[in-house]
A and B are shown apart, each in its own frame.
Chain A
């Protein structure tokens, strides 16, 4: 024990287990398989993104071990679903597994149900102080994430079955990105949950995911938004594969920080205080969340500007979406300045993080609802 402490940390490559290496091999081979099998549908940039994704995903799995089984299960089940299709879209209503479990829409609906259950379970666990109930909630959240990713992967494949020219990555409209939002937010939360060894914050984070799930259900059932639509010409670009996910890491992180802001404010007033983690822990996760969110939101906005330079003829047009992205960025830049330079902590920043959710939600959703502009790809 003492010796271990004194020794410098083992270099990364020596720390890797056989499973890490197996994982890397699986990632590499599935990436190369996708390249050989579907390469004809990709332009050089997309092939580049796929190749760059191989080491990134492998490294991410080494960094966050729980990601490895998720990746393997999602990949295996998605391939199984694809094989069930036999290249025929109509199999969706015939094949048992597709119809009830892993066609894209069925999987996404399972994801919605599981997120709803997880929310209730987290709260039950929080209120009864039951560790076992909390563990169940974590398992449900993991299952929801797994099914959600399977849903998106299968949806990607289904879009190509509708028509080779219709096929596209499922991050192209409001319905698809809401699913992505749920998944990314849940993954970020699950990472913090393991890192801080505390499940209590799940009750709060899952609330915002449940709200998104509510939106997904309304949007699909009332508006039929779950239909796969072909891409408008402006969206037919490899930039979409980078810009959209980066943005949603930002949105997801900001949402988590807002929910933790709410938890902080409640705990500080003595509400649920004995059930929630210490204020410092909540504060720390809130800060980390905003830091990650800010970094990725910066990248996403820059990627968006570069894409705009190619699609709209200018990297910055003061389009409502661009402007609101800037407003969100400025908001969290100010938050970080206060925290890092002034060293300020406490309720003021928690309120601010909570208020940030309003700004973020407006940028994400409100702009599409109330303002018109170039970036109107999802209307309500």
Chain B
């Protein structure tokens, strides 16, 4: 057993197994929410992998067993070799017999006229010049000169291997072994419920005296925290801190291109009694150490920005908004005839850097590279202003997620309010664009939308359209009546589901050959009636009639497109952001790792050891001198080219000295 543990084959097998085992954790994403794994692998493999601990390989029991074997094997190896190596380092191996020297592969004999003592003295002088330690011993009919160099190689072995043990032990101290043991014995349990931190029971809390931990917490500006959360398996633990961290302010600095340059948090630390201990600013790469706990800037998020919104009822025939107040990370209720909706405000972003130039702007021509400009042309990147996200959940619990921009965006030379919608978090947002009027407001769009959806006005709109459609000198009540009816029909169809229902109607009723023409006609009718609707809506709102120009034409067309899209928007309201009062939150990571210094010391020793082992060559030289005859022998653990060269040099030196 002892033999096996310290054998080279075992050590190399362990290194290989450790390498292969480590690969698993890099291929399979670690510490994801368990639901993701379930979706990815299906119930059977999910459970199998869970049992194998593949979701947290590096803390799995079997992985720790491999590491333990590595530590044990290395320790046994040191234990077995250290005494021997220490002796070797000191020893000059002066007991070597002449016979065994003769059996050396690297040996050389020379005849000499010098007295043994004299030759030994000159050889000693020579070898010491070459960095050897030399001892001269009297032997039968002459002397034995024993020399050694590079003994530190052995020390290197000792340092490097103890370092590995130290690093592993340091790592284990900082690991979660203590918790694992407590969990196994039933003293501690992982919390999996989503409940307020204060309600987490004692069994899922770790005391401030906990030896080591690495947890995170999000603190909104103006708030504080005295716990951090440790993610474990499919749940979490609450780690109580020996102090309270308060966030005064969180800042993001940007480069001119819009990329983030720096994240900073102004913190205040209070002791448990509420007395302020210190104030400090932390940033990425600049943590704060308090009571042996390092506080890092890890992430940021919204900390509950207050939003002032206008709600537009999209399917009501009116055009008056209603005010809503909301706070990010909180919910609001919207009452409607169809039941209550829950508004869940999920995020707010003060900046959105978007690529407005398309991909063609980045294509580099060959010449521009050789001509040489490493200066990036990022003019197409633009900040398009704040946006906020929310989910709208109906009474059945079904939800769509929305992302609305506060400021309008210019697309194809015209300005729009943008609202994105998606059904699942892994989808991209689909955007509807609501056109702005000449004053840059959304009101005209809303007014026209209301008028088009108002069944009471439909007849008047249609009639006005019919009157306008016919030349004034050719008024014919019959045709006018028909046109009115057609217009009413088109409006009613559009009201049911936009272009979709209109298209469906044409497909059902019109022979294939005439569909294209019919569609053109219907579209024309729709656009003209919409213009009439706008006139009526303006009149009702006591506004001047719309101008007859290109802009109004586009506005009407865009409104119709947008209205048609609203049928698949997924929500009966549109929320327009008017004001906000931003509150940011800083994501902090707090770490206590007493093993760190052990690991660092181990690392230092490892570096020293590796250098000694690889770059210090251990060599031994013996010179057995008898009257008239000298025998040179040399040995080394590694027979490299350098060794051969050195031996050749010693041979030459001996020949010279012996002469």
Ordered by A's residue number, 6 sampled pairs between the chains whose C-beta atoms are within 8 Å are: A92-B372, A221-B366, A330-B16, A330-B18, A333-B15, A340-B637
What separation, in Å, do the CA atoms of A330 and B637 have in the docked complex? 23
What separation, in Å, do the CA atoms of A103 and B596 have in the docked complex? 44
B2 is an interface residue with CB less than 8 A from chain A = no
Q: Which of A113-154 contact B (CB under 8 A)?
A: none
Q: Chain A contact residues (Cβ within 8 angstroms of B): what range?
A: 35 or more
Inter-chain contact A165/B285, CB cutoff 8 Å: no
Instruction: Scan A331-342; emit 1 where CB is below 8 A from any B CB, else 0.
Output: 101101110111
Instruction: Scan A265-283; emit 1 where CB is below 8 A from any B CB, else 0.
Output: 0000000000000001100
Binds B, one of A32-40, A51-59, A200-208, A298-306: A298-306
Q: Which of B13-36 contact A (CB under 8 A)?
A: 15-16, 18-19, 22-23, 25-27, 29-30
By secondary structure, the B interface counts as helix
B214 is an interface residue with CB less than 8 A from chain A = yes
CB contacts (< 8 Å) of A378 on chain B: these are none
Q: Known contacts being A298-B606, A309-B596, A337-B12, is A234 close to B285, with CB within 8 Å? A: yes
Instruction: Scan B159-186; emit 1 where CB is below 8 A from any A CB, else 0.
Output: 0000000000001001000000000000
B83 is an interface residue with CB less than 8 A from chain A = no
Q: Which residues of B contact A (CB under 8 A)?
A: 8, 11-12, 15-16, 18-19, 22-23, 25-27, 29-30, 57-58, 126, 128-130, 171, 174, 214, 255-257, 259-263, 283-287, 294, 296, 298, 362-364, 366, 369-376, 589-591, 593, 596, 599-600, 603, 606-607, 610-611, 613-615, 637-638, 640-642, 649, 652-653, 656-657
A106 is an interface residue with CB less than 8 A from chain B = yes
A9 is an interface residue with CB less than 8 A from chain B = yes
A89 is an interface residue with CB less than 8 A from chain B = yes
Q: Count the A-B residue pairs with Cβ separation under 8 angstroms: how many?
A: 184
Q: Which single residue of chain B is at the shortest CB-CB distance from A281?
A: B641
Inter-chain contact B614/A166, CB cutoff 8 Å: no
Q: Which of A224, A311, A330 contacts B15 (CB 8 A)?
A: A330
Inter-chain contact A6/B607, CB cutoff 8 Å: no
Q: Which 7 A-B pairs have the closest CB atoms?
A: A8-B129, A105-B372, A227-B376, A233-B284, A313-B296, A313-B589, A320-B26
Q: Which residues of A contact B (CB under 8 A)?
A: 2, 5-9, 89, 92-93, 98-99, 103-106, 109, 155, 158, 162-163, 165-166, 220-221, 224, 226-230, 232-234, 236-237, 280-281, 284, 287, 291, 294-295, 298-299, 302, 305-306, 309-316, 318, 320, 323-324, 326-327, 330-331, 333-334, 336-338, 340-343, 367, 371-372
CB contacts (< 8 Å) of B128 on chain A: these are 8
Inter-chain contact B600/A306, CB cutoff 8 Å: yes
Q: Known contacts being A6-B657, A228-B374, A333-B15, is A109 close to B285, with CB within 8 Å? A: no
What separation, in Å, do the CA atoms of A371 and B129 have in the docked complex? 55
Inter-chain contact A224/B12, CB cutoff 8 Å: no
CB contacts (< 8 Å) of A158 on chain B: these are 374-375
Given contacts A6-B126, A8-B130, A92-B375, 14 further A-B contacts (CB under 8 A): A105-B371, A105-B373, A106-B371, A158-B375, A221-B366, A230-B259, A233-B260, A234-B284, A287-B640, A295-B615, A302-B607, A312-B296, A320-B26, A323-B25
What separation, in Å, do the CA atoms of A284 and B638 have in the docked complex? 11
Q: Known contacts being A5-B649, A109-B372, A327-B23, is A233 close to B285, with CB within 8 Å? A: yes
Q: Known contacts being A228-B376, A234-B284, A327-B22, is A314 close to B641, with CB within 8 Å? A: no
